[in-house]
Amino acid sequence: MAATLISDLLATSNSNSTINDETFWSRLNEVKFIHGYIASFSVIIVSELGDKTFFIAAIMAMRHSRLKVFAAAMFAIFIMNTLAVLMGMATTVIPPVVIKYASSGLFLIFAIKMFYEGCNMTDEDSKEEMEEVQKAINKKELAASIDYERS
C-alpha cells in the first residue's frame, strides 16, 4: 500500500499537476488511520499487560475455552482501539480550544465526583474498599503462582 501511495505521489509530482486524485487522498487517509491504529494498539497492549482486566482474562481462560476467551479479549481490544483512533481523528476536526475546555471540564467533574465520594465514605465503605483491594491482590498472586507452576 505504501509503495502505491509513493508511486502515486511521484506520478503526480512528475506531471507538474496538483495532487487532487481522490484515490491518492483516500489511500493517504487510510495509511494515517492504519498508522494511528497500530500505534494505539501498541500502547493499549503495553498498558493493559498488568491491568486487572488482564488477570480477569487469565482467570477466565482457566475456567473456559482459551480460544473463546482470547477471541473475546482481542475483540474488546479491537473495539476499544477503534474508538480511541476515531476519537483521536476527531481532534483534528474539533477546534483545540473546544478540546481544551471540554477536557478541563471533564477532569473537574470527575475530580469533584471522586472528592465527594471520598468525603462521604463511611468507615464501613472504606473497609469494603480495602477488602476488594485485598481480594484483587490475592487473585493476582494466585494467577501468578498458577502461571509459575505451569512453566
Residues 103/109/112/117 CA torsion (nearest 10 deg): -120
Q: Would you give per-residue pLDDT tens digits along the chain (151 residues)?
A: 444 444 444 444 444 444 445 565 565 566 677 777 788 778 877 877 777 777 788 888 888 888 998 899 889 888 988 888 888 888 888 899 999 999 999 999 999 999 998 888 888 877 888 888 788 878 777 777 776 666 6
> Can you give the pTM of this predicted structure?
0.45
Residue 115's pLDDT is what? 92
- With CA atoms as reference, report the closest residue to 41 among 83, 99, 72: 83
